[in-house]
């Protein structure tokens, strides 16, 4: 009887969740076996779960990213990163899905967010519609695998297992699937003679990175601290020209300026990446010089002793 009611409601076009609940309630009212308060208690108990809060928040995060333009930034970053490879936009599709999967946790949000941008771009660059849709659909499946994953949260709640352990278990399969998808794109690119869709330039790559909020905020902090330091150093130079600069103020200027130089250079090096440790890049030479300046013309520890004596 329960199945008949459920199928009848489904045939009427009622959503699955409402059809399931409606069929169950009708059966309980007709059968009259459990008391009504027990049904209500079980219904409330089924949704009274803290981990289930992840479901609406994951969906909200995906919608916010779509509406706030974050998907466009992810696409531009992936394009600057791998768009120059053969079959470039196919690789961009996969890399974009990997990044988006680490934010949304669902395949639907991935396909709806990045999918519309990527399919249109691939069709505009001459890729077959079947190939564009196929790559988008395949890469969207990384959403439930690469953590954080919405299905992992629901499974962990139902099976009473660790959410963190499931997240860790999803990293390797997700990376492996992404690599296999990129290999598949590379195979079709070589087979069909596709080239890269853009030319790799550091300017494009840097512009794509700076669009991310963390990089913007980091550079904003650096600029603010540098501007404050410049004002203090200019004040010390002005006093020195007038012959009014005392030892304590000079020690404070030396200590603060060299420490700040080291911190700013360290943060810039982190933004630059691993290449920053190679001498052919200016940031590497700045990093080396900044570390030496903390010792040159009197160590900062000596400067601090001079300052402390005046207190």
Domain ranges of the chain: 2-48, 56-192, 212-309
Provide the token pair at 142: 């990384």
- Sequence-ordered list of residues with C-beta below 8 angstroms from that of 83, at least 6 positions apart, any chain: 89, 91, 92, 196, 197, 198, 200
CA distance 183 to 206: 26
Reported residue count of the chain is: 311
CATH fold of 212-309: Butyryl-CoA Dehydrogenase, subunit A; domain 3 (1.20.140)
**pLDDT at position 86 over 80:** yes
Q: How much is the average pLDDT of 180-198?
A: 88
For the cut 80, the answer to whether the pLDDT of residue 126 exceeds it is yes
In angstroms, the CA 92 to CA 97 distance is 8
Please tell me which residue, 6 or 224, carries the higher pLDDT value.
Answer: 224
pLDDT at 262: 86
For the stretch 115-125, pLDDT in tens is: 878 888 888 88
- pLDDT surpassing 90 at residue 162: no
When mean pLDDT is compared across 82-96, 179-193, 200-214, the lowest value belongs to 200-214
The yes-or-no verdict on residue 34 having pLDDT over 70 is no
Position 13 pLDDT exceeds 90: no
Residues 208 and 76 sit within 8 Å (Cβ to Cβ): yes
pLDDT at 193: 85
Q: Which residue has the tokens 């499931």?
A: 166
Query: What pLDDT is recorded for position 35?
Result: 67
pLDDT confidence band for 234 (50 / 70 / 90): very high
**What's the rounded mean pLDDT across residues 198-218?**
69
What predicted TM-score, i.e. pTM, was given to this entire model? 0.56
Render pLDDT for 49-66 as a digit per residue (tens, 0 to 9): 666 777 777 777 767 776
pLDDT attached to residue 180: 94
Please tell me the predicted confidence (pLDDT) of residue 14.
83
pLDDT of 212 above 70 = no
Using DSSP's 3-state secondary structure scheme, residue 186 falls into helix
Listing DSSP states for 16-51 in one string gives HHHHHHHHHHHHHHHH--S-HHHHHHHHHHHH--SG
Q: Which of 48-57, 70-79, 93-102 has the highest mean pLDDT?
A: 93-102
Select from 275, 293, 292, 294 the least CA-distant residue to 284.
275
Buried b (16+ CB within 10 A) or exposed e, 166-198: bbeebeeebeebbeebbebbbebbeeeebebbb
Percentage of residues in the chain having pLDDT higher than 70: 86
Average pLDDT of the segment spanning 289-303: 76
């Amino acid at each position: 009887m329960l199945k008949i009611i459920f199928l009848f409601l489904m045939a009427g076009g009622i959503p699955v969740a409402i059809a399931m609940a409606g069929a169950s309630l009708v059966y309980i009212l007709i059968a009259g076996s459990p008391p009504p308060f027990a049904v209500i208690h079980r219904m409330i108990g089924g949704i009274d779960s803290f981990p289930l809060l992840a479901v609406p928040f994951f969906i909200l995060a995906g919608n916010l990213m779509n509406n706030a333009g974050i998907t466009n930034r992810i696409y531009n970053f992936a394009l600057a990163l791998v768009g120059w490879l053969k079959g470039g936009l196919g690789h961009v599709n996969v890399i974009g899905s990997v990044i988006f999967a680490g934010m949304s946790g669902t395949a639907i949000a991935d396909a709806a967010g990045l999918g519309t941008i990527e399919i249109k771009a691939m069709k505009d660059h001459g890729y077959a519609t079947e190939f564009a849709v196929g790559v988008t659909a395949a890469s969207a499946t990384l959403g439930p695998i690469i953590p954080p994953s919405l299905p992992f949260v629901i499974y962990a709640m139902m099976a009473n297992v660790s959410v963190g352990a499931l997240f860790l278990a999803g990293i390797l399969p997700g990376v492996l699937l992404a690599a296999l998808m990129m290999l598949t794109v590379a195979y079709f690119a070589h087979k069909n003679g596709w080239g890269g869709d853009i030319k790799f330039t550091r300017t494009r790559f840097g512009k794509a990175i700076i669009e991310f909020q963390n990089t913007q905020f980091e550079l904003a902090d650096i600029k603010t601290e540098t501007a404050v330091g410049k004002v203090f150093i200019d004040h010390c130079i002005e006093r020195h020209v007038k012959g009014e600069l005392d030892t304590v103020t000079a020690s404070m200027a030396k200590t603060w300026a060299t420490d700040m130089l080291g911190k700013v250079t360290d943060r810039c090096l982190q933004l630059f990446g691993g290449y920053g440790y190679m001498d052919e890049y200016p940031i590497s030479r700045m990093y080396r010089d900044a570390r030496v300046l903390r010792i040159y013309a009197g160590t900062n520890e000596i400067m601090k002793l001079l300052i402390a004596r005046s207190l």
